[in-house]
A and B are shown apart, each in its own frame.
Chain A
């Protein structure tokens, strides 16, 4: 039975095509000049360049982390190109009509129509292609509500005070090796500001696409939810199928001021490499939010792509009564490796956090949960509950759990539970005795395993995530 299950989980990668688009791409290499040129391309103010250079100087002194349960060839940072943009974007198209139709077709092929009338009603999209934002939809409608949703490169020009105040305030410039690199070379990404008391009228979403060969993508996202506001944001990511590894090192910062709520969902489907581990994206991402009084930050992630995932979306629960959540599904197969989890840093009184992590490993893959729950001395009455389940499919994969728990407050309560299981022969037998084929049975059992996480995704994307797993189970059971 287990052979059938393994077959059932083999997967095609649907987003692996390459778009024929002429690009301006920097030659590979990284030094201060490259950073000056990126800053120049973006027409940045002096303070921004200075900020980048300082980050670069600290990066030079830092060591690439090796504590994660990951094995890969050292990355040669001089062989990567740090900027690539479609030539057609040089003149900054004013409207969608001026955007290269090939770019629009690319997103359509990925199921992301950029024409507002064709889009999912109620979802605004920022489409980032290699190093630049191509278009941001529904801006007018959002502006009516006072919501700012634009490429971060534009925010640096238009809203320098907000950017200066919050950029690097949650993830400091020298926080870690990959974050520092991002600070030095980030090219684009999304900026969101929700004013006081505003409930963002639509879902916001950014769609990241790596297209050009040998480039890295270093996007930067900053979301500020002012007092009493509310926003739900989703990002999706894909890349062409190539034999070379490509680096993606993003930084996401969330600021939830008093009584605000940010829901951040990710459906990550970067190219995972082939079944022998050739190619695929190296995904080294730093995501962190700071939650002020009575606010809530909720991370939901569905990670099915990337050759390597190194990612720990975290919450600093600074304000009293703030809430942090982390819901994660990570599916690895082939030779994929994931080391992912979260950090919940409880500083304020009566702060609460919930962690639900579902790891599914198949093939020769390795899937690790790594998490930290820290109860600071001031975290009176704080609570955490963590549930961490692994599902192993086949006898060549691996599943690991590394939860760190630190408590210095006698009234704080931390509960951590972890289990591991397989798709059992009995479950398969029951499903098949009721007339279901192996593919359907596995997909149903795996979806059931992930249900607690999927129900946290916005409705449209829950369906998408379910499908993503379903695609993974498509077409190969004889």
Chain B
């Protein structure tokens, strides 16, 4: 099993956000998680990746049979967990190229592979850059520094392509994108679907799922998965919204 989440409770500061979430993902599957604002969608990704302040209360998360919660953030990444951020942070002065080379080599090292030379890396970086339709000078620019919202999202997908993770969480990778940018992001993601790599696509809208077709769709509300189904469930949400959940949408994470 790629991912097994059992009865996950998690909190942010004093507030319990996830209240008994269960999810299993097999290799190669694409799961969409939809839900109203405040349901805990982003929290799931943060808890899985180990962000400070997102605390496990009870339950378990295993990836490939190993307990994720026992690992540091970077170990989880080295084990193949990749989170595409909704709001990627800027790191001034550190070039994208330098950053990704360090990252790729840290992960290769963990897998027992040789580090890539600068020339080898440059070659694959250029290809990835082209694949997400970013001009090559983005490799030289500071990490996310001065990038537009769409460029940041595409930069995340470029990293996804380079790092070759096992399990990918896309956290609202569609938010703030126009239709063309959305296609670029979706094409990038689809190119990485190889029957083994698994994806969790977190989104508010059905729109992204027109381009990245999920195997399963889950509705997350108030910290729990309240309904699961096939792609048709996403269409249902599209037409009816989340009002049927019977709760007003809350602002915030």
The count of chain B contact residues (Cβ–Cβ below 8 Å) is 31
> In the complex, are the beta carbons of A430 and B93 less than 8 A apart?
no
Does B83 reach chain A (CB closer than 8 Å)? yes
> In the complex, are the beta carbons of A427 and B89 less than 8 A apart?
yes
Chain B nearest CB: distance from A451 CB in Å? 4
Report B-chain residues with C-beta under 8 Å of the C-beta of A437.
72, 74, 106
Q: Which of A102-110, A217-225, A274-282, A441-449 contacts B (4 or more CB under 8 A)?
A: A441-449
**Cβ 8 A contact of B72, one of A424, A426, A431, A432:** A432
Report A-chain residues with C-beta under 8 Å of the C-beta of B99.
431, 434, 444
Cα–Cα distance between A386 and B82 once the two chains are bound (Å): 40
Does A237 reach chain B (CB closer than 8 Å)? no
Q: Mark B93-119, 1 if CB is under 8 A from A, else 0.
A: 110001110110011001000000000
Residue of A nearest to B106 (CB): A435
Binding site for A on B (CB under 8 A): 49-52, 72-74, 76-78, 82-83, 85, 88-89, 91-94, 98-100, 102-103, 106-107, 110, 142-143, 159, 163
> In the complex, are the beta carbons of A440 and B49 less than 8 A apart?
no
Report B-chain residues with C-beta under 8 Å of the C-beta of A438.
74
**Cβ 8 A contact of B85, one of A424, A430, A448, A452:** A430
Report B-chain residues with C-beta under 8 Å of the C-beta of A424.
89
Report A-chain residues with C-beta under 8 Å of the C-beta of B50.
432
> In the complex, are the beta carbons of B102 and A445 less than 8 A apart?
no
> In the complex, are the beta carbons of B163 and A429 less than 8 A apart?
no
What are 18 A-B pairs with beta-carbon distances under 8 A? Answer: A431-B91, A432-B74, A432-B77, A433-B77, A433-B85, A434-B77, A434-B99, A434-B100, A434-B159, A435-B77, A435-B103, A436-B103, A437-B106, A440-B102, A440-B106, A444-B94, A448-B91, A450-B93
Interface residues of A in 437-468 (CB under 8 A from B): 437-438, 440, 444-445, 447-452
Cα–Cα distance between A211 and B106 once the two chains are bound (Å): 41
Interface of A is mostly: helix
> In the complex, are the beta carbons of A434 and B103 less than 8 A apart?
yes
Report B-chain residues with C-beta under 8 Å of the C-beta of A429.
49, 51-52, 73, 89
Chain A nearest CB: distance from B160 CB in Å? 10
Does A1 reach chain B (CB closer than 8 Å)? yes
Cα–Cα distance between A450 and B92 once the two chains are bound (Å): 10
Does A244 reach chain B (CB closer than 8 Å)? no
Beyond A433-B83, A434-B103, whether A444 also contacts B74 by CB under 8 A is no
Does A425 reach chain B (CB closer than 8 Å)? yes
Q: Which of A430, A444, A449 has the most CB of B within 10 A?
A: A430
Chain A nearest CB: distance from B74 CB in Å? 4
Beyond A427-B91, A430-B91, whether A436 also contacts B142 by CB under 8 A is no
Report B-chain residues with C-beta under 8 Å of the C-beta of A440.
102, 106
Cα–Cα distance between A452 and B74 once the two chains are bound (Å): 28
> In the complex, are the beta carbons of A435 and B52 less than 8 A apart?
no
> In the complex, are the beta carbons of A426 and B103 less than 8 A apart?
no
Report B-chain residues with C-beta under 8 Å of the C-beta of A434.
77, 99-100, 103, 106-107, 159, 163
Cα–Cα distance between A430 and B85 once the two chains are bound (Å): 9
Cα–Cα distance between A469 and B170 once the two chains are bound (Å): 35
